């Protein structure tokens, strides 16, 4: 999809973080953006900022964990933008933290409902029109934690993100020959507020990260990467190319990889990582 001018792009979880950064990046190259989020006020603020900058955007309230949410979202697009979605980014997600024995079944169900089954709901609504016309692009947000293991404190989240990767790979096999692109976005450390809304199930649990070699990125940087992936029809989009070396090491000897993660855990402080990113930006000319 070389030219995104005038294309309708729907992004869930677009009121902040990666969704917001991608909405702004897509609007900057001429796409008409649907800022979909459960937070109606913040979604409208993002859409208004895009319009103020000269872009085209509407806000739409969307609780991706509810049946019927995507049908209503499609009706909004047809009514307000008079067309079908060309690009759908399934980005909304929730997270938690805690030891496995402390996390109740209901939380597993909540995480999978929002993170994974929202994409099932989205596909049911947006894929048929794409298939009918033989064009479109799907972007699903997975995570570094969905493609390699480095933590046990957020297992439902990591498991849902691993399932998203597998779903995306299967969709690519099916959809690419039919003219529909598929991208699976795998973010590493990114400045988002997802952890601020995280439920904590174990007091004092240590947050483990993928490793100090992965720099903290901004949502705008990731948004630019997503735009290029859509343009170039790239399937696998990690936010940091260094992860490829880690994946090779893991695949080469997964027993040794797990032992290394046990012996040398990477405990992270999100506040410290963001501060380091800010200092790096200030030092640049």
In the chain, beta strands by DSSP E:
8-12, 32-37, 56-61, 87-90, 96-97, 136-141, 180-186, 199-200, 236-238
Rounded Cα–Cα distance for residues 65 and 82 (Å):
26
Residues 6+ apart with CB under 8 A from 127: 138, 175, 180
150 is annotated as an active-site residue:
no
Chain centroid offset of residue 99 CA: 24
Rounded Cα–Cα distance for residues 13 and 45 (Å):
13
Which position among 150, 157, 174, 257 bears the catalytic label?
157
- The dihedral region occupied by 173, where left means phi > 0, alpha psi between -120 and 50, and beta the remainder, is alpha
Across 228-251, b (16+ Cβ under 10 Å) vs e yields ebbeeebebbbbbeebeebbeebe
Active site residues per annotation: 157
């Amino acid at each position: 999809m070389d030219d995104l001018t005038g294309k309708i792009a729907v992004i869930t979880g677009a009121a902040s973080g990666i969704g917001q950064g991608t909405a702004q990046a897509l609007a900057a190259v001429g796409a008409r953006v649907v800022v979909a989020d459960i937070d109606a006020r913040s979604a409208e603020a993002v859409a208004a900022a895009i319009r103020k900058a000269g872009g085209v955007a509407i806000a739409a309230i969307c609780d991706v964990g509810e049946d019927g949410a995507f049908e209503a979202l499609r009706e909004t697009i047809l009514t307000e933008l008079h067309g079908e979605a060309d690009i759908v980014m399934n980005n909304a997600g929730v997270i938690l933290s805690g030891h496995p024995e402390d996390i109740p079944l209901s939380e597993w169900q909540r995480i999978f409902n929002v993170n994974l089954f929202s994409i099932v709901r989205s596909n049911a609504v947006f894929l048929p029109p794409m298939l009918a016309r033989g064009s479109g692009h799907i972007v699903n947000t997975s995570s570094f934690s969905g493609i390699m293991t480095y933590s046990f404190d957020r297992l439902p989240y990591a498991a849902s993100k691993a399932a998203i990767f597998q779903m995306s790979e299967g969709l690519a096999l099916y959809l690419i020959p039919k003219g529909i692109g598929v991208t699976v976005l795998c973010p590493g450390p990114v400045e988002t507020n997802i952890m601020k809304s995280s439920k904590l199930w174990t007091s004092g649990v240590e947050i483990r990260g993928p490793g100090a070699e992965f720099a903290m990125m901004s949502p705008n940087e990731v948004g630019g990467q997503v735009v290029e992936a859509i343009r170039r029809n790239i399937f696998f989009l990690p936010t940091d190319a260094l992860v490829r070396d880690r994946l090779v090491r893991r695949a080469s000897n997964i027993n040794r990889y797990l032992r290394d993660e046990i012996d040398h855990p990477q405990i992270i402080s999100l506040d410290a990582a963001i501060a380091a990113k800010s200092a790096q930006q200030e030092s640049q000319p």
